[in-house]
Amino acid sequence: MHRFYNASAARLTAVLLTSGLLLVACSSPASSGQSSNGGQASSAGGSSSGPGASLAGGIDVQGSLVSSGIYDATWTWQAGNAADPGIGGITLNSDKGAVGNVQVLSDGSITFTSGASELSGNGSYAGTGAQVQLKDQVPCGFTLDNDVTGATDGAVLHLKGTLTIIGGTFNC
């Protein structure tokens, strides 16, 4: 029975649950909802729905990713999704209805996971070389034009685009 245990899937589940708990804990009605991006207005315009919309706790994720190769899709953040710098990652929705999570660390390492049926293996892909924007040593944004490789079968998925977290616990 132990041979069916998937450590990567278990880690993904733990990360997603932790991200959700952090997001709930960091989103309080007492929050001002203002972003800390140097006074620049969010392109989301304070809307409460749709891609890039501000979350009640003052978190906003701007931008999108496009995947190509084994899975062609456009990925965007939606209000209510996790948006934590680094290991928490950003939960994204594809234009095809799939959900995924992208983690980018300050060293440029990339982990992308998704349960999309078109993705092979366990849906976990890793790579390096992300261009990371740091604020107080926290990765608050990144630009990708990178291949990530499947953990179990070596399949290649290309990710391209920019995501920027504004606000939240880490004051991005």
- 3 state SS of 105: coil
88: DSSP letter: G
CA distance 172 to 33: 13
End-to-end CA distance of the chain: 44
More reliable by pLDDT, 85 or 3: 85
The confidence band for 57, taking pLDDT boundaries of 50, 70 and 90, is low
Which whole number is the average pLDDT over 64-93? 94
8 A C-beta contact, residue 118 and residue 143: no
CA distance 14 to 10: 6
